[in-house]
Structure 1
Amino acid sequence: MLKSQNWKTKFILLWSGQAVSILTSSVLQMALVWYLTEKTGSAAILSFATLIGFLPQAILGTFIGVYIDRYNRKTIMIVSDLLIAAASLVLVVVGFWRDLPIWMIMAVLFIRSIGTAFHYPSLQAVTPLIVPKDQLTKYAGYSQSFESVSMVASPAIAAVLFGLWDLNIIVLLDVGGALFAVLMLCIVAIPNLPRQSHSTAPHVIKEVKAGLSILKQEKGLTSLLAISALYAVIYFPIGTLYPLITMTYFGGTFAQSSLVEVVFSVGMLLGSLLLGMFGGKINKAKAISGSIALYGAGVMLTGLLPPTGLAVFVFLSALMGISVPFYTGVETSILQMKIKEEYLGRVLSLSSSISMVAMPLGLVLSGTFAEVIGVEKWFFILGVLTLLLAVVSAMMPSLKHCCDS
């Protein structure tokens, strides 16, 4: 499909809207965590809120791609953003009259997660309709730069606003971010997929199987998704354990725990910019295995540090952050390049769903073992396992084929 000559302008407009929405959503997410902590002081409530936040994406992700591939992806994104904004607006209205009830926050988190389950794979599936295929890896770096800037700024903004405003006002800010993203989407002209015959209602299971069949036809992509699932089991829990190892093992403060998160996000931003600069020239298979290896080395070395090694951990966090875009950005660009555009929604949703399903397994394992053997020892074990995964990925011929053919 021929791309418009002004595709760079479209990309910037699209992702500037998404960046603002991601920023306001990240600010709200942190504010909600602090609000629930302040009101309940319950780890169980926080865990349940986390579960509510990703469960719809994990369950629905496999099937949502069918609708993303059948219908207009731009419209799906707009409707998803408006659904998220409408759900959040309920909190704004209620918050003017009374304290926000916990059950209502949980319900809104659930609805927002459903909207995200439709929105995110649609966004990733829209990108190759705008960006030429030979530029996808490079611009995956730039899109992750937009996300990383939001992640860097959101902790500081959330800390200031949470001290000044009521939660419902912060929610209103997020509603504004969603509406700005919708405005940018309305401005950007996104090419439609070739019209297919959809005279009947979707046969979801049949169309999911069709997407899986396309996935299997591309040699090495099933290996890539298997590596992604195994990495998700390891990767997600490590981030969850950052505050624990910072404050319990290294004896850090809340401020130092926030510093670790910010430094990691700055590392991600730097890695995203590097991917944007050199993404068109890198060896994708080596980028994936190298990213996993660098992250694993950082985690393993963290586990070997003495309790006085907080400063070194902060440095290692920056290196681990740099590694992340060279995995996530490259993986997404491979799928965007290899899968036909009319099947891309299904494959991207499936990939996201696999990671979401793997996440709770990793969280349960990490929570159990970190408690029993100590968080620093569990970091060392996870680091070793991650390095082994990097070796396995580097030795898989099928993975090399799908990355570099």
Structure 2
Amino acid sequence: MRTFLLIWFGQLISLIGSGLTSFALGVWLYQTTGSSVQFSLMYVCAELPYIILAPFGGAIADRWNRRWLIILSDSISAVCTLSIALLMWQNWLQIWHLYLAVAVSSGCKGFQQPAYYTTPTLFVSQKHFSRANGMIQLAQGAGQLLSPILAGILVDIIKISGVILIDFISFIIALLILLAIPFPSVSSSQYLQHSQTSLLDNIGEGWNYIKARPGLLTLLMFFFITDFTIGLVQVLITPMVLSFANAKVLGQIFSIGGSGWLFGAVLMSTWGGFKRKVNAVLCFEFILGLSILVAGLQPSAILITVAAFFAFFSVPIIISSHNSIWQVKVDPKVQGRVFALRGAIAWAAFPLAYLLAGPLADYVFQPLLLIDGLLANSIGLLIGVGPGRGIGLLFNLVGIFVMLATIVAYNYPYIRKVEDDLPDFIKPV
């Protein structure tokens, strides 16, 4: 566990540094262009390469040394970061430079994360898997919460190029830690065995591995469906809040509500979660759905903040428990490709949700709850009418859908009994 904590600490520093750069470059891009479309395109560049390349990254993680895969991926990301800083110092930075650097870093993430997410199985006994996964979620939560605050202060003091330099230093710290720690080999003959097959064959083997285990396959489909609905909420919460409040209130909602992620991650890191991980997944998915439902009930900053806190609180518990199931039930020799394919399929729901969220809100739900809308004198009497209330209705429906999907999942034997039906590949120590 101590060795894992060293690796985790290096990645924590790197995540905070990357968050600083993400915030600073977002500010630079919007101030330079004033375009929401170009700002959104940066997020597409940050997501799409990862989704496309993660299955290949997982296959490579199974046939190559995972430590060196993380080191190489982090090194390329560091070079991209340093390049952006140098271009900015010389006043040569163009929009396409930024898109290219973000896309390359996203592609590196597609190789780094499948290797990094399998490290608990290399260093930690099964009884500490949930705790280790909680630590990983804690690092992500800390990056999301601390980076915007720090970056907002540092941009004024050392400018955007200085913030990017700090990110580069954080990469160096993470790399030095990785260089100092050897990774145990999963199998002495593993790399030779996989070298006889192509990467596409390895990805196909990962899909066949999941497909042959109905419990894992149905659990993956459940997450794809719920991720799609959560993606709708993720995009639309900002316009819903801004329909009745200002940007300062929105920031307070994100800050206070988002602290729930940190609390949930700390809880998982210290407690370790339920003995039956699938019960934790479904229990907190239900709480997540209820929180989304509550957030859409009224245009109230206090109500939305409370709902956001419990929603964010649930996420690290869900992810940590879900990862623990896969880490125990999937053969370590194929975890890289299986985990990467699982992530690519589940995360593919988010870009799809991002594309549909705007049209659904503007052309389907919002007209229903205008003052003279079709539902103004029925549902409108309960949740209100006017700007943003159509999005509130969509939140209500999404929350109800997530809760119903969770109830169905619990009553589906393949999901409820996934921990009983599949053998453990990693035994408690």
Note whether the superposition's TM-score is higher than 0.5.
yes
Q: Is it true that 1:239 corresponds to 2:234 in the alignment?
A: yes
Give yes or no for contact 2:145–2:259 (8 Å, CA) kept in 1.
Answer: yes
Identify which of 318, 338, 342 aligns with 2:333. 342
Moved more, 135-144 or 324-333: 135-144
CA change 1:134–1:199 in 2 (3 A) is closer
> Which of the numbers 200, 206, 223 marks the counterpart of 1:205?
200
The equivalent of 2:414 in structure 1 is: 398
Of 297, 313, 318 in structure 2, the residue corresponding to residue 327 of structure 1 is 318
Report which of the two structures shows the higher radius of gyration computed on alpha carbons: 2
SS state of the match for residue 324, structure 1?
A: helix
Q: 1:199 to 1:14 in 2, by over 3 A?
A: closer
Aligned residue runs from structure 1 range 253-402, under 5 A: 253-279=246-272, 281-305=274-298, 307=299, 309-372=300-363, 373=365, 374-402=390-418
Could you tell me whether the CA contact under 8 Å between 2:287 and 2:311 is conserved in 1? yes
> How many angstroms apart in 2 are the aligned matches of 1:200 and 1:145?
36
Match of 1:85 in 2: 78
What TM-score results when the alignment is normalised by the length of structure 2? 0.88
Is this contact kept in 2: 1:228–1:355, CA < 8 A? yes
Q: Partners of 2:194 and 2:218 in 1: how far apart?
A: 35
CA positional deviation for 1:356: 2.6
* Aligned counterpart, 2:129: 136
Q: Is the 8 A contact 1:242 1:257 kept in 2?
A: no
1:230 equivalenced with 2:253 (yes/no):
no
User: Taking structure 1 as reference, are residues 162 and 242 closer, same or farther at Cα in structure 2, changes over 3 Å only?
Assistant: farther
Gaps of 5+ in 2: 366-389, 422-429
**CA deviation string 1:180-224 (max 9, x = no partner):** 111111222321121222484641222222222222343400011
Partner in structure 2 of residue 19 of structure 1: 12
Aligned residues of 1:285 and 1:404 also touching (Cα < 8 A):
no
Shift of 1:65: 1.2
Shift of 1:386: 1.3
Q: Which whole-Å deviations, capped at 9, do the CAs of 1:300-348 have from their partners, x for residues lacking one?
A: 111111x3x1112111111111111121111111111111111000011
- C-alpha distance in structure 2 between counterparts of 1:31 and 1:390, whole Å: 38
Report the Cα distance in structure 2 between the residues aligned to 1:166 and 1:218, rounded to whole angstroms.
Answer: 52
Q: What SS does structure 1 have at the residue aligned with 2:184?
A: coil
Question: Do 2:274 and 2:280's aligned partners in 1 also have CA atoms closer than 8 Å?
Answer: no
**1:266 positional shift:** 1.3
Q: Which amino acid aligns with 1:33?
A: G
Alignment of 1:24-103 (within 5 A): 24-98=17-91, 100-103=93-96
Cα contact 2:55–2:344 (8 A) shared by 1: yes
Once the two structures are TM-superposed, the CA of residue 149 in structure 1 deviates from its matched residue by: 2.0
CA deviation vs aligned residue, 1:224-246 (integer Å, no higher than 9, x gap) = 11011111111223223232222
- With 46-55 and 77-86 compared, the bigger mean Cα shift is at 46-55
Residue 64 of structure 1 and its aligned partner are, at CA, apart by 2.1
CA distance in 1, matches of 2:42, 2:194: 40
| Contact map agreement 1:53 1:110 (CA 8 A) in 2 | yes
State the alpha-carbon separation in 2 of the partners of residues 208 and 270 from structure 1: 36
Distance in 2, Cα, partners of 1:48 & 1:37: 11
Q: In the aligned structure 1, how far is the partner of 2:114 from the partner of 2:195? A: 24
> Against the structure 1 CA distance between its residues 99 and 162, is the aligned structure 2 distance closer, same or farther, given a 3 Å change threshold?
farther
Give the paired residue count.
394
CA contact (8 A) 1:155 1:258 kept: no
Q: Secondary structure at the match of 1:49?
A: helix
Cα separation, partners in 2 of 1:403 and 1:158, compared to 1, 3 Å? farther
The change in CA–CA distance for 1:145 and 1:243 in structure 2 (over 3 A counts) is: same
Deviation digits for residues 18-54 of structure 1, max 9, x if unmatched? 1111111112111222211111111110121111111
Unaligned runs of 5+ in 1: 1-7
1:214 corresponds to? 209
- Secondary structure of 1:220's aligned partner: helix
The one-letter code matched in structure 2 to 1:205 is: L
- Corresponding position: 1:193 with 2:205: no
Q: Write the deviation string for residues 122-171 of structure 1: whole angstroms up to 9, x where unpaired.
A: 10012210111222122211221222222221121111122233322221
Question: CA contact under 8 A between 1:142 and 1:273: conserved in structure 2?
Answer: yes
Equivalent pair of 2:278/2:419 in contact (CA under 8 Å) = yes
